[in-house]
Structure 1
Amino acid sequence: MTTLASLYKTNYAVWAQRNADLLRAGRFEELDIEHLLEELSDMSKSDRRELHSRLLVLLAHLLKWQFQYPQLNDRWREFDGRSWRSTIVEQRAQLEGLLRQSPGLNSAVEESIAEAYPAAVRLARKETGLPKSTFPDSCPYSSAQILDENYYPETA
């Protein structure tokens, strides 16, 4: 095991800095390629997990907005959905930042929506108590609508 490879296990910050220095110097043969590849792969996975997580929460709140908001608004005049709106705004802002920082994720948005939607329905069902049949089988929102800061679904 090279010194650089063993440094990966003992002092990650120094390992990362040394690899960065080697890259800048064009000394590619000295890089710890195995661990660099592992780190790059993990970064991609982490970004995709964050994309999925934020979409799940956003979708669940859009579903609650569309399918439960009218019931609550009818029962409690003072209910205005402010906390749901706040969560929707926050998740969209975080998604915008994530996609700006990692533009390669844009190609994964559609797939992530499809993967997150069933879990978003489960979350919305648990939080609202509404039956599964209330919610569409597939995501009723386009990716453009989901990410559009001015879009709120029509209430059912």
Structure 2
Amino acid sequence: MIAGMNRHLWKSQLTPYEADYARWCVEQGALLRAGRLDVLDRENLAEEIESLGRSQEDEIESRLNVLLVHLLKWKYQPEGRTGSWEGSIVEQRSRLLGRLTKSPSLKAHPASVLADEYISARLKASGETGLPRALFPEVCPFTIQQVLDSSFFPENR
């Protein structure tokens, strides 16, 4: 069906990117599979593919942030340690390492954003624990190797 349609007919029947994103995705996928490169929405398609890479970076940053919050809580509020904190630490590490395994080109990304992610993690940890912000170091007290090390759990203060 797709291969038999002429270019003009296809152009007039395609859903614009801005009108219905989900339908646009399905149509663009069908066009790619059919080899109809002449009617692809190349500019929007290229932007969407590039954004997939950025979303991987965003996921790494988000998981790193959650991991840092729980490592800080573990270290600075030992009396509040729970299985859920430990579970979150284990899960975030596992998901981070899984993402890095699937996208080896992003292996250096956690280290490159550690300082930035720590800034907000410090604020979140203070808010979630009720402990004064000044108690938490201004600079991340953990190396990226420690953060990602499945056997690392910070000692008490």
Return the TM-score normalized by structure 2: 0.79
Equivalent-residue separation in structure 2 for 1:5 and 1:48 (angstroms): 35
Match of 2:11 in 1: 3
Q: Flag structure 1 segments of 5+ consecutive residues without an equivalent.
A: 73-78
Alignment partner of 1:36 is 2:39: no
Percent of aligned pairs with the same amino acid: 36
Alignment RMSD, CA only?
2.5
Q: Deviations over 1:69-107 (max 9, x none)?
A: 1xx1xxxxxx65322101101111111121122222212
Q: Return 5+ residue gaps in structure 2 as ranges.
A: 1-7
Q: Residue 4 of structure 1 contacts residue 15 of structure 1 at CA under 8 Å; is this kept in 2?
A: no
Residues 17 and 106 of structure 1: CA distance in aligned 2, closer, same or farther (over 3 Å):
farther
Q: What corresponds to 1:76 in structure 2?
A: none
Q: Deviations over 1:9-67 (max 9, x none)?
A: 35312312422553xxxx86665431222012211221121111111110000001111
Q: Which residue in 1 is equivalent to 2:117? A: 116
Distance across 1 between alignment mates of 2:12 and 2:42: 10
> Highest relative contact order (Cα 8 Å, sep 6+), 1 or 2?
1
- Report which stretch shifted further, 90-99 or 106-115: 106-115
- Between 105-114 and 117-126, report the one with greater CA deviation: 105-114
* Cα pair distance change 1:19/1:7, threshold 3 Å: farther
> SS at 2:108's partner residue?
helix
**1:66/1:33 CA distance change after superposition, 3 Å:** same
* SS of structure 2 residue aligned to 1:41: helix
Q: TM-score, normalised by structure 1?
A: 0.79
CA gap 1:80/1:141 in 2 versus in 1, 3 angstroms: closer
Note closer, same or farther for the CA distance 1:133–1:43 as it changes in structure 2 (3 Å cut): same
Give, in whole Å, the separation in 2 of the partners of 1:99 and 1:37.
23
Larger relative helix fraction: 1
